[in-house]
């Protein structure tokens, strides 16, 4: 049937689609979107990888430690690419490889993170720089590598995994807290560079996730001041929360658990009151027994990581980091070697 009414319905439908796209953005489609997760080989990253893959999405993981097929962290059908996200040249090389051989990334989840539970004076310069490179600078690298493709297609989603400690950092977490504060600022600036969320015409959305302490190896030995007020978070539940937010096309911020929504308010009170909050919460004592596996994106310690890096650099002074990076692909198809691209 054709005629004025049909014509009206057609144009009304087009207007609805265009308007909803501006207001809500393009919704995630696992049959269409390509997901890339940094630090997806363990912890929260592994749970994110598993969740998105279980929904049928194509998933690429950038991680320094690639899980073997017999590892509990291995997820069938995921493309694992060994990548030191702290190295800009390696990230750009691997990103180009993904774009040319796998597809245009339309969902980027910047999740990679490490921590060092030491005082400022006890932190080495290498540890400070490595923490900032992995936790903060790597997000700049991946955004600059993948966002142009998103904007060209007018379809993209950038999820930044920061921390509640980006708002209020305890003692012995100076580098970690600084890096997470930087991620919050990066997210905020990027969001409004893309345009006000309600009138974003680029097709690229942003989402900030600020979880509290996760039940992962990264914070082994950390004493939570109050399990009632500040419970440890199950990585699976956090991953599901992030997936659901992406599926619904949400923008803005997610703070978990409840106290995460209250922490920014501490910045508003006079400093004597803020000090009382810190004292009675016990937050500045929580890192004294820290053990962690902080030195890698997987399960290695900081000492092992730094010693290995030093040995490799001394033994292979002429070998570039791009050449040293390895890639393991777990899909049943032949792909070019990313180190030859």
Q: What residue ranges do the domains of the chain occupy?
A: 26-331
Q: Evaluate whether 75 touches 46 at the Cβ level (below 8 Å).
A: yes
Residues with Cβ within 8 Å of residue 163, at least 6 apart in sequence:
176, 177, 180, 210, 211, 212
From the CA atom positions of the chain, what is the Rg in Å? 21
Backbone dihedral region for residue 172 (phi beyond 0: left; psi -120 to 50: alpha; all else: beta): left
Q: Is the pLDDT at 152 greater than 60, yes or no?
A: yes
Q: Is the pLDDT at 309 greater than 50, yes or no?
A: no
Q: Evaluate whether 259 touches 212 at the Cβ level (below 8 Å).
A: yes
Lowest mean pLDDT among 82-96, 122-136, 190-204, 304-318: 304-318
Between 298 and 285, the more confident residue is 285
Average pLDDT, the chain: 80
Superfamily of segment(s) 26-331? NAD(P)-binding Rossmann-like Domain (3.40.50.720)
User: For 237-261, what is each residue's pLDDT tens digit?
Assistant: 999 999 999 999 999 999 998 878 8
> Which of 23-32, 94-103, 210-219, 271-280 is the most confident on average?
94-103
The residues annotated as belonging to the active site are 176, 180
Split at pLDDT 50, 70, 90, the class of 310 is: very low
160 forms bridges with which residues in the sheet? 110, 208
What is the average pLDDT across 27-33?
Answer: 94
Between 25 and 26, the more confident residue is 26
pTM of the model as a whole: 0.77
Residue indicated by tokens 């590892």: 71
Q: What are the residue ranges of helices labelled H in 107-166?
A: 125-132, 138-153
- pLDDT for the residue numbered 255: 94
- pLDDT for the residue numbered 62: 99
Tokens of 80: 């694992």
Reduced to 3 states (helix: H, G, I; strand: E, B; else coil), residue 294 is coil
- pLDDT for the residue numbered 261: 85
């Amino acid at each position: 049937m054709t005629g004025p009414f049909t014509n009206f319905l057609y144009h009304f439908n087009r207007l609805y689609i265009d308007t909803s796209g501006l207001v809500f953005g393009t919704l995630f489609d696992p049959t269409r979107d390509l997901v890339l997760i940094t630090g997806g080989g363990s912890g929260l990253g592994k749970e994110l990888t598993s969740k998105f893959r279980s929904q049928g999405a194509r998933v690429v993981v950038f991680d320094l430690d690639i899980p073997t097929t017999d590892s509990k962290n291995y997820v069938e059908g995921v493309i694992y690419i060994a990548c030191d996200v702290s190295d800009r040249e390696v990230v750009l090389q691997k990103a180009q490889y993904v774009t040319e051989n796998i597809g245009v990334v339309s969902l980027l989840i910047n999740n990679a993170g490490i921590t060092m539970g030491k005082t400022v004076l006890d932190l080495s310069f290498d540890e400070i720089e490595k923490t900032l490179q992995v936790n903060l600078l790597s997000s700049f690298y991946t955004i600059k590598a993948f966002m142009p493709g998103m904007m060209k297609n007018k379809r993209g989603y950038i999820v930044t995994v920061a921390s509640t400690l980006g708002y209020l950092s305890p003692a012995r977490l100076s580098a970690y807290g600084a890096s997470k504060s930087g991620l919050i600022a990066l997210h905020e600036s990027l969001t409004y560079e893309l345009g006000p969320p309600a009138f974003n015409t680029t097709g690229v959305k942003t989402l900030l996730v600020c979880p509290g302490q996760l039940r992962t190896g990264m914070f082994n030995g950390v004493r939570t001041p109050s399990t009632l007020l500040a419970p440890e978070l199950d990585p699976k539940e956090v991953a599901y929360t992030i997936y659901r937010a992406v599926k619904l096309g949400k923008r803005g911020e997610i703070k978990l658990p409840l106290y995460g929504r209250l922490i920014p308010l501490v910045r508003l009170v006079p400093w004597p009151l803020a000090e009382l909050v810190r004292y009675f919460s016990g937050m500045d004592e929580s890192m004294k027994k820290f053990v962690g596996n902080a030195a890698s994106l997987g399960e290695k310690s900081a000492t092992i990581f730094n010693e290995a890096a030093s040995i490799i650099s001394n033994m292979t002074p002429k070998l570039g980091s791009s050449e040293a990076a390895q890639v393991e692909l777990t899909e049943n198809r032949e792909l070019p070697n990313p180190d030859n691209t």
